[in-house]
Structure formats: structure tokens, C-alpha cells
Amino acid sequence: MLDIQKIRTDFPVLSQKVNGKPLVYFDNGATSQKPQVVIDAISTYYQEINANIHRGVHTLSQLATDAYEVSRAKVKNHINAQFLHEVLFTSGTTFGINLVANGFASILKPGDEVLVSALEHHSNIVPWQMLCEKTGATLKVIPMNENGELIMEEYDRLLSPKTKIVAVNHISNALGTINPVKYMIDKAHEVGAAILIDGAQAVPHLKPDVQELDCDFYVFSGHKMCGPTGIGILYGKEAWLNKLPPYLGGGEMIKEVTFEKTTYADLPHKFEAGTPNIAGGIVLGTAIDYMNEIGFDNIQKQELELLNYATKRLLEIDGLQIFGTSEAKTSVISFNIDGIHPYDIGTIIDKLGIAVRTGHHCAQPIMNFFGIPGTIRASFSFYNTKEEIDLMVDAVKKAQMMLS
């Protein structure tokens, strides 16, 4: 069993008050809070080894380079990539998806098809729309049902030799649905399609094994798993990364430059142009170490307990409806109360110290499916408690009384 109270002392922000009330932070789907070890690691980098990497023979540059590449190795081991050069540092999930979509512009032609799901974040919709507009390919959508689950029979029907890439999230940011990505990967490969998994909402809750999944690309952000903002990972199979052209041109991604011709660097540097977020890359490794020390089995047990308890407590409220009732689900609850706009609930409970997200959660097609303007989303992390859930439920009840 985790000692949650001890873990909470690792996170300075959790001890503060908001509007005179103890902070209850239930917006982990947007970004997680940072433990002191991560905060300290950022400070240590800038105080002790701040230097540009891969370019200097002086001691600080070598120290920074070593720390950056050690972090890359930590990510490789964490996701079980086959090769170190299959792990690319990016600025986040959105950048990684755009990098892959841009690369596929050199592959797709009119009549080809790209599949996305009805459960996607805008970051896994818009780049593919832009790609299809550029290439003449067709975007097709895997539909969902009332439980917030993708309809696998329709997915099977949509797949064809015309399908060139499938893009689907591992876990829905808006509903918490855990998608059957292993099945989807295997089916995509049966028709010769590549598949990209958006793991932004998955990596705070589980350890993805990219070799076991056999995905072609897997993208995620550091800031949702106790790391800093502005850093992310794109995993890509070696064969695919060699096939795709560079996304950005500049320093670091070149082997040789003349005015007549440029040759590109080997992986992973081919896709890492310019000075990166060095501190972010190094400290992502610190965050991964911290979460592995907590243990992902322990994280999953704690978060499932919170999900079940919060679901039970919230359903005690008259007129409350939960959106996203998949059996395979992680610690996210999206809900509304009859006759009350979600923004109004969110505004009132903020005054009581409760931090939740309201709106469409960058997933407007999901809200359109349910015919609603948005939801109140409470997203839990392993450092949250049942007592905090009780505070949220009391606050929602108070808001309901004020707004009814």
C-alpha cells in the first residue's frame, strides 16, 4: 500500500490554499503536479551544468550531453524501445504528431485513407486533416458508442488496403476510456497500414511496452507524468524514421552542409534540429525515475480505487450524469448536472478550492456526439485522496443548490 500522505509531501503545491481553502487538485488530465525532486533537478541543471549539448569539447558541454543522453536511455528502457535512436525528444505530444503527419505528406497520394477515432484530442485530428488537404487523401473516422467506446466492428470495416495510417489515443483525455490499442495495431498491420498511438493520457497511469504493442509510433508529453512542460517523446520504429523526411531544417540535424547540397544526420538527430529543451530532456528522466519508484502497479491500484469511489459518490447527486462509462477506464470522470452549465459549476467550486477542468477538453467531436457544450472533468492522480473527493462532492452539491 502506498503511503499517500507521505507522497503528498513530495509535492509542494498540494499544501497551499486557494481562495482560503485547501487546494484539491483534480486537473491532472491537463497537467500533473511536480514533485520536489523534479523541481530541484531543474534548478541543479541551470546552477551546475548549463551548456549546449552535442557541440562542445569543454567539460560543461560534455556533462550536459551525457545527462541528456542518459535521460534518453531512461525513456528507451521505460517504454522498452528496441534501439536508443528510436527515441526522439520533442516539445510535446502535439509536435510529435505533427512531425509524423508532415512526414507522411511525402508518402500519401489522392485516394489513400487516414483513420482517426471519434475519441481524439484536437491534436490528433487537426494535423491529419491538414495532411489530407495537402495530399488529397481521405480522412475517415472510427465511430464511438454511448458508453464512450470505439466500435471495433466499424473499425474493422473501415480498414482496407487504402488505409495508410491509423491515429488513435491510448486513453481518451475527455472520458478516460482505455482503447484496445493492441487489437487496433494488429488489425492495422493486417492491411499494411502504419499506426500512431497518442499516449499523452496513458503514460501517467501505465508503462507502455512499444515492442509488445508493436506500434509504429508512440507519442507522449512529460508534463502529464510529473515532468516539466515543453518536453515530449516520439518513439518511432527505425524503419519508419529512416523513411520519413526531416521535419525541421537547421543545426544538429545535418551531417554536411554546402550551398549545393545538404546531407542529414543519422537517427535520432535527423529529427532534432536546433538547441533543444535540454533541462526538460534531462529532468524528464528524473520524473520517470520518480514514478517508477512509486511503481505503476501501485499507481493503477490507487487510481482505480479513487475512480470507483468518486463514481459512487458523484452518482449520489440528483440530476448528475457521467459521460464515458466504458468498463476499461482510467481515473477520469466527465459529468454534468441537469440544467446547469458546466462552466458555472467549475467557477463556483473553484471558490471552494476545487480545481477541475470545464469545457470541451479539446475534444469537441465527443461533445457534439453527446449533444452537450462540454463537461466538468475531474481527473485524479496517485497523490489524490478519498477525502479530497468528499470535498469535491460537497462543493458540487453546494454549487447545485446555488444554481438551481
What are the pLDDT digits (tens) for 73-92?
999 999 999 999 999 999 99
pLDDT, mean of residues 303-319? 98
- What is the reported pLDDT for 107? 96
Cell numbers at 95, concatenated: 509536435
In Å, the largest CA–CA distance within the chain is 72
Cell numbers at 4, concatenated: 499517500
Domains and CATH numbers, the chain: 4-30+295-403 (3.90.1150.10), 39-292 (3.40.640.10)
Cell numbers at 256, concatenated: 554536411
Q: From residue 201, how far is each of 3, 82, 93, 172 by CA, in Å?
A: 24, 23, 10, 7
CA dihedral 337, 343, 348, 349 (to 10 degrees): 70
- What is the reported pLDDT for 394? 98
Question: What percent of the chain clears pLDDT 90, i.e. is strictly above it?
Answer: 94
In tens, the pLDDT along 153-210 reads 999 999 999 999 999 999 999 999 999 999 999 999 999 999 999 999 999 999 999 9
- What is the reported pLDDT for 122? 98
Q: What is the pTM of this model?
A: 0.97
- What is the reported pLDDT for 46? 98
Mean pLDDT of the chain: 97
- What is the reported pLDDT for 232? 98
Handedness of CA 131, 132, 136, 137 (dihedral sign): positive
pLDDT at 257 over 90: no
Positions marked catalytic: 362
- What is the reported pLDDT for 252? 84
pLDDT at 340 over 90: yes
Amino acid at 260: E
Q: What angle do CA 24, 26, 27 make, to 5 degrees?
A: 130
Alpha carbons 164 and 244: distance in angstroms, whole number:
14
- What is the reported pLDDT for 180? 98
- What is the reported pLDDT for 185? 98
Cell numbers at 196, concatenated: 500512431
pLDDT at 264 over 90: no
